[in-house]
Amino acid sequence: MALSKPLEDLMRLFERFPGIGEKSARRMVLFLLQQPKGFSEALAEGIRKCSSSLHPCSICGNITDDDPCSICSDPFRDKSTLCIVESVEDLITLEQAGIYNGLYFVLGMLYSPLEGEEVSPQVLERLVKRVSQGDIKEVILAFSPKVEGELTMNLITSVLDPLPVTVSRLSYGLPVGGSVSFADRTTLHAALEARTCLKRGEGRQ
Amino acid sequence: MALSKPLEDLMRLFERFPGIGEKSARRMVLFLLQQPKGFSEALAEGIRKCSSSLHPCSICGNITDDDPCSICSDPFRDKSTLCIVESVEDLITLEQAGIYNGLYFVLGMLYSPLEGEEVSPQVLERLVKRVSQGDIKEVILAFSPKVEGELTMNLITSVLDPLPVTVSRLSYGLPVGGSVSFADRTTLHAALEARTCLKRGEGRQ
Ligand SMILES: [Zn+2]
Ligand SMILES: [Zn+2]
């Protein structure tokens, strides 16, 4: 069948999103056509606005329309704790659980030798610089409990070894094999409370 | 946390789509921000275009940018067979299976007395008029096999009773309790082939 071209084109674009297959894309487009016109206008405008006004925070990597972001510039956040997350999605998941009041550092990737993914030296350098500056006393690693997460934790722990900071990780109250993004608030809270210390902050020298 | 406003706004819009929850909406927006700028521009433009250029076909109710739609105006379609579907989504599902070459009539609803939904007299009138015109010899009812589908089939069969057309329904090769939109091509094909006759086309009088 020749679907009408605008319909077909828009379905193909929706299908590019993660987790959206052909049938979901079709359902979304047909839903869109049944809404009042204001909805599609707001959606188109919202997409344009996000893509033009949002960018990574120069300090933590969070998505923001200001720089630094509202977390980095919040005077009431605990500036002695830095939580390292894989992605902005994980940062938002932790934030929305409302269980953490420190600062963040978005790594942007995990060390994944099987897929040939390294954590670039530049990122590690930025991390060391970030941890050395300011008053950071504890670094909390909040990666998803899977092989890549473990490898990345080992890497970061050794990179931070010379610095006088405590390094901990979320406890494995997290469902192993799952991901930070899909954990519920209670699980996240328990995991934060029972975080396991990897290195005491006595420094070296 | 104060998510940045454009991000929050766009997430809320994505959440309005059927089957898209909070986490999926968030994932979609973050995916969008990681794509080259051309993608969000194409998406915003595609949404605007769909919402401004698409409308229901005046003959069958299919979504189209022409009128009549490409199915109604296709000289190679079998004009003696009319398939009645609940929704455009179901029409597209049947079309994309590539197993049917007749025409369509989108009912737009099912008779659902428990939810207080009637098939409006206007729609039934349009249907009777449509079936009376042209060369229609067979009407195929392609509703999802559930209570509302059965009730609607009874209603339409009795409404069409005076007319000299055969009325049939898809066979229950369809998974009962499921829906037309999620059936695979093979199931749809089997269901079309083994359709059950409800009324022979000898007319009345
Ligand atoms: Zn920041
Ligand atoms: Zn049509």
Chain B residues with CB-CB distance to A54 below 8 A: 4, 6-7, 33
CATH number of residue B18's parent domain: 1.10.8.420
d(CA B33, CA A64): 11
Q: Classify residue B193: in a domain, yes or no.
A: yes
Q: Classify residue A9: in a domain, yes or no.
A: yes
Q: Classify residue A205: in a domain, yes or no.
A: no
- Banded pLDDT at B1 (limits 50, 70, 90): low
Q: Classify residue B144: in a domain, yes or no.
A: yes
| A26/B92 touch (CB, cutoff 8 Å), yes or no | yes
| B65/A6 touch (CB, cutoff 8 Å), yes or no | yes
Chain A residues with CB-CB distance to B50 below 8 A: 6-7, 10, 29, 32-33, 40
Do B43 and B67 lie in one domain? The reply is no
Three-state SS for B196? strand
pLDDT, tens digit, 9 for 90 and up, residues A102-133: 999 999 988 888 888 888 899 999 999 999 98
Alpha-carbon distance A106 to nearest alpha carbon in chain B (angstroms) = 14
Do B126 and B148 lie in one domain? The reply is yes
Average pLDDT over residues A85-112: 90
Q: Which domain holds residue A112?
A: 63-199
Do B37 and B117 lie in one domain? The reply is no
Chain A residues with CB-CB distance to B27 below 8 A: 17-19, 89, 181
Do B131 and B153 lie in one domain? The reply is yes
A177 burial level (CB within 10 Å; 0-12, 13-18, 19+): exposed
Provide the pairing of β-strand A81-85 with A55-56: unpaired
Do B175 and B77 lie in one domain? The reply is yes
pLDDT, tens digit, 9 for 90 and up, residues A35-62: 998 999 999 999 999 999 999 999 999 9
| B45/A44 touch (CB, cutoff 8 Å), yes or no | yes
Q: How many CB pairs under 8 A join A and B?
A: 163
| B181/A24 touch (CB, cutoff 8 Å), yes or no | no
- Residue B2 pLDDT greater than 70, yes or no: no
Alpha-carbon distance A119 to nearest alpha carbon in chain B (angstroms) = 18
Do A25 and A45 lie in one domain? The reply is yes
Q: How many domains does chain B contain in total?
A: 2
d(CA A8, CA A25): 10
Q: Is the pTM of this model over 0.90?
A: no
A51 or A197, which is more confident?
A51
Task: Tell me what percent of the residues of chain A surpass a pLDDT of 90.
Answer: 60
- Give chain A's mean pLDDT: 88
- Residue A205 pLDDT greater than 60, yes or no: no
Residue type, B89: E
Q: Which residues are CB-neighbours of A78 under 8 A, at least 6 positions away?
A: A101, A102, A103
Q: Classify residue A58: in a domain, yes or no.
A: no
| A47/B40 touch (CB, cutoff 8 Å), yes or no | yes
CATH number of residue B77's parent domain: 3.40.1360.10
> How remote is the CA of residue B136 from the centroid of ligand 2, in Å?
15
| A39/B16 touch (CB, cutoff 8 Å), yes or no | yes
pLDDT, tens digit, 9 for 90 and up, residues B33-84: 989 989 999 999 999 999 999 999 999 999 999 999 999 999 999 999 999 9
Q: Classify residue A42: in a domain, yes or no.
A: yes
Do A42 and A69 lie in one domain? The reply is no
Chain A residues with CB-CB distance to B71 below 8 A: 1
Q: Classify residue A204: in a domain, yes or no.
A: no
Do B16 and B80 lie in one domain? The reply is no
Of B149, B148, B147, the residue nearest B169 (C-alpha) = B149
Do A118 and A181 lie in one domain? The reply is yes
pLDDT, tens digit, 9 for 90 and up, residues A173-191: 677 777 777 777 777 777 7
Q: Classify residue B101: in a domain, yes or no.
A: yes
Do A15 and A76 lie in one domain? The reply is no
Do A75 and A169 lie in one domain? The reply is yes
Do A9 and A103 lie in one domain? The reply is no
Give the pLDDT of residue A49: 93
